[in-house]
Structure 1
Amino acid sequence: MTSPTTRLTDAGVSIWLDDLSRSRITSGNLIELITDRNVVGVTTNPTIFQGAISAGEGYAEAIAAQKATGASVDDAIFAITTTDVRDACDVFRPIYDATHGVDGRVSIEVSPELAHDTEATVAQAKALHETVGRDNVLIKIPATKAGLPAITETIGAGISVNVTLIFGLDRYAEVMDAYLEGVAKARAAGIDPGGIHSVASFFVSRVDTEVDKRLAEIGTPEAEALKSKAGVANARLAYELFTERFSRDDAMALVEESANVQRPLWASTGVKDPDLPDTLYVEELVATGTVNTMPEKTLEATFDHGVITGDTITGNYAEAHRVMDQLAEVGVDFADVTRVLEEEGVEKFVKSWRELQQSVSEALDAA
């Protein structure tokens, strides 16, 4: 019998691991996950690197080397994280080649402190791309208002981008437009758009966390009946929007001229409510041409007991619309939900970034 992760792959979902550390690379664990769990990519963020470096995870030698050069804390972080991503890119290179650049991708994020600075975001995106120096790297840029023009500019320079921190459909529509504008800009500059890839990371579990808190405050039976339904419904409508947007004439024209679609990526798929099935955000978000980036705990749960029965998105648009309408009827302001989540998302990544700086500072001092 095939494993659930194999069935998920066969259903058109690319499985990416939402984690990376130096020891995961050097121990061969990453190769094992590729071989045994159908993993075809990796995403990282400041929280992941902070956890790995503060826990050690094979960084003593790298820290000592940075100390010897007199590197600043930020320079040390840049050197260590780009090295990890470069090495992971090399591990995934055969998958990148086999899928013609669709998978085999490793993401690295610009500093979250730049989330509201377009020019600085573009400059760091280019620096990260150049320093990693691998075709299969994806540069993560947040979908803030300042991030949108940075996405266009970075794509226009021929750099592949993972757009992160997307919570609402309105912003998602702007993200897809920013990508297409960037592709058109690259083409105008003589850059082959066929070499540019992008994913749009649409967050799921954090939506349920915020909405369920508001439903509990409302407290009516109608509100209680909607608990833990918003995240999946919102993501399903994002896929509907994706199929509509890339069916429009301007997008079709670019795709016909060798450009790639910007695939939806389901992020924040680790279940935070212990009362929910631990594979909820995998099983309920299956559709061809998507990516699901999973923490290892979710990946292992899916491999162990995930129930993959094929597409669970495209036949459920009407129900997803009903859920969102019902949320509005009971008094949930979803526009405010997404505003709060974006602000909190940036704040959480900035907090993790500063904790990462503190961890590296302490390690440099102790080296």
Structure 2
Amino acid sequence: MSNAVKDLAAHGVSVWLDDLSRELLESGDLQKLIDERNILGVTTNPTIFANALAKGDRYQSQVDALVAKGADVDSAVFEITTDDVRAASDVFKPVFDATNGQDGRVSIEVDPRLARDTDGTIASAKKLWATVDRKNAMIKIPASVEGLPAITAVIAEGISVNVTLIFSLERYRAVMDAYQAGLEQAKAKGIDLSTIRSVASFFVSRVDTEIDKRLTAIGTDEALALKSKAGVANAQLAYQAYEEVIAAARWQELAAAGAHVQRPLWASTGVKDPSLPDTLYVTELVAKDTVNTMPGATLEATFDHGVIKGDSITGNYAAATETMNALAGVGIDYNDVVNLLEVEGLDKFEKSWSDLLGTVTDELERAKARA
């Protein structure tokens, strides 16, 4: 039987789950999602880990062991999260093998407190890569200005990278440049480029949430008619930029040396506005060599009633440009929006990391009381 998730695969879209917990791993539910929902990878972030640790007692025995050996909170968080990612990587190993390394990927993010620290990000990425010690892992690095040289340096070491928190077309082009620069350095070192993979996580729904708020405040008929159109249009124009980059001579030379494209990944695909179709950021963002990472609810909605009609991106560049021009025409400052979203995104991840540290601190204290 056909379903929307399989239809996405037929059109070159890999579906990854935006969730991970020890419960998913130990219950067998992650394997079930691979088997029954055709998911091909997993992305994580500090919020996901904080939520996982706050629920249930799946981590209790490990926390007890960590207390017994005198681990502090930072090392406890590092060990817990890398253990989960390593275990998930093992679950996805057959997918990794079957897709020749394209999918079966599990992403783990560098400490978000390092987002403005290039050298710290590089060191964190290397440590995570070495600790997880799985070829199908990916290290998530935020696309902050300071993150760009870190992306290049980490790729140059042969480490696969998921670049996260991309909101603007300008920053996305800088990310693609950083990836190519890293590949060029890796090639100069004699590293086999075919072993390196990367995705660029372009955020979608958050763009609509912020712009729709501003359109509502403007309040004219012209402004209100543009609600919930920016996120998709922005992402479609990102794919246009991607096509331009991979058609250029610089990329063609890298591809000839064995390099793989840095696939656009649609992130923040859960629909926030209940008046919108719950599969909006799936059905409207279909094109080959892309990834759509979905929270569980979006995955189930797509599987249940998503309708995939084929490529919904490449024929819409003119309309997307028109939408973005119309937004500027009613007073939406695109640069102000994307800059705000980046700052907010980094702040949210840092707060989630703080929550995660707090949760683990509480668990460590409880374990000490039990000992």
Q: Which TM-score bucket, shorter chain as reference?
A: over 0.9
- Matched with 1:22 is 22
Offset at residue 11 of structure 1 (A): 1.1
- Matched with 2:70 is 70
- Residues 58-207 of structure 1: matches in 2 within 5 Å? 58-207=58-207
Offset at residue 234 of structure 1 (A): 0.2
- Residues 253-272 of structure 1: matches in 2 within 5 Å? 253-272=253-272
1:174-220 alpha-carbon deviations (Å, 9 max, x no partner): 00000000000001111111100000000000000010011111111
1:136-167 alpha-carbon deviations (Å, 9 max, x no partner): 00000000000000000000010000000000
Q: Which runs of 5+ in 2 are unaligned?
A: none
- SS state of the match for residue 264, structure 1? strand
Contact in 2 for aligned 1:21/1:57 (Cα 8 Å): no
Question: Separation in 2 of the partners of 1:261 and 1:85?
Answer: 24
TM-score by length of 2: 0.98
1:44 aligned partner, one-letter code: T
RMSD over equivalenced CA pairs, Å: 0.6
- SS state of the match for residue 39, structure 1? coil
Contact in 2 for aligned 1:4/1:306 (Cα 8 Å): yes
1:295-342 alpha-carbon deviations (Å, 9 max, x no partner): 000000000000111111111111100000000000000011000000
Question: Separation in 1 of the partners of 2:228 and 2:278?
Answer: 13
- SS state of the match for residue 353, structure 2? helix
- Residues 21-60 of structure 1: matches in 2 within 5 Å? 21-56=21-56, 58-60=58-60
Question: Separation in 2 of the partners of 1:322 and 1:56?
Answer: 49
Q: Does residue 319 of the first structure (1) align with residue 319 of the second (2)?
A: yes
Offset at residue 121 of structure 1 (A): 0.2
- Matched with 1:236 is 236
- SS state of the match for residue 92, structure 2? helix
2:205 aligned partner, one-letter code: S
Offset at residue 57 of structure 1 (A): 5.6
Offset at residue 56 of structure 1 (A): 2.6
Question: Separation in 1 of the partners of 2:50 and 2:250?
Answer: 41
- Matched with 1:290 is 290
Offset at residue 279 of structure 1 (A): 0.5
Q: Does residue 13 of the first structure (1) align with residue 18 of the second (2)?
A: no
- Matched with 1:357 is 357
Contact in 2 for aligned 1:85/1:108 (Cα 8 Å): yes
TM-score by length of 1: 0.99
Identical counterparts, % of pairs:
61
Question: Separation in 2 of the partners of 1:56 and 1:260?
Answer: 40
Question: Separation in 1 of the partners of 2:348 and 2:134?
Answer: 28
2:301 aligned partner, one-letter code: A
Question: Separation in 2 of the partners of 1:222 and 1:167?
Answer: 24
Contact in 2 for aligned 1:23/1:57 (Cα 8 Å): no
Contact in 2 for aligned 1:233/1:324 (Cα 8 Å): yes
1:171 aligned partner, one-letter code: R
1:33 aligned partner, one-letter code: L
Contact in 2 for aligned 1:22/1:57 (Cα 8 Å): no
- SS state of the match for residue 264, structure 2? strand
Question: Separation in 2 of the partners of 1:35 and 1:241?
Answer: 34
- Matched with 2:214 is 214
Moved >6 Å (runs of 4+): none
Offset at residue 252 of structure 1 (A): 0.7
| Bigger mean CA offset, 95-104 vs 39-48 | 95-104
Question: Separation in 2 of the partners of 1:69 and 1:105?
Answer: 31
Contact in 2 for aligned 1:129/1:137 (Cα 8 Å): yes
2:362 aligned partner, one-letter code: E
Question: Separation in 1 of the partners of 2:108 and 2:29?
Answer: 20
- SS state of the match for residue 246, structure 1? helix
Q: Structure 1's 207 and 92: CA in aligned 2 closer, same or farther, altered over 3 A?
A: same
Question: Separation in 2 of the partners of 1:300 and 1:9?
Answer: 16
1:74-114 alpha-carbon deviations (Å, 9 max, x no partner): 10000000000000000001111111110000000001100
Offset at residue 3 of structure 1 (A): 1.1
- SS state of the match for residue 272, structure 2? coil
Q: Does residue 344 of the first structure (1) align with residue 333 of the second (2)?
A: no
Question: Separation in 2 of the partners of 1:6 and 1:68?
Answer: 47
- SS state of the match for residue 102, structure 1? coil
2:328 aligned partner, one-letter code: A
- SS state of the match for residue 20, structure 1? coil
2:124 aligned partner, one-letter code: Q
Question: Separation in 1 of the partners of 2:266 and 2:68?
Answer: 41
1:12 aligned partner, one-letter code: G
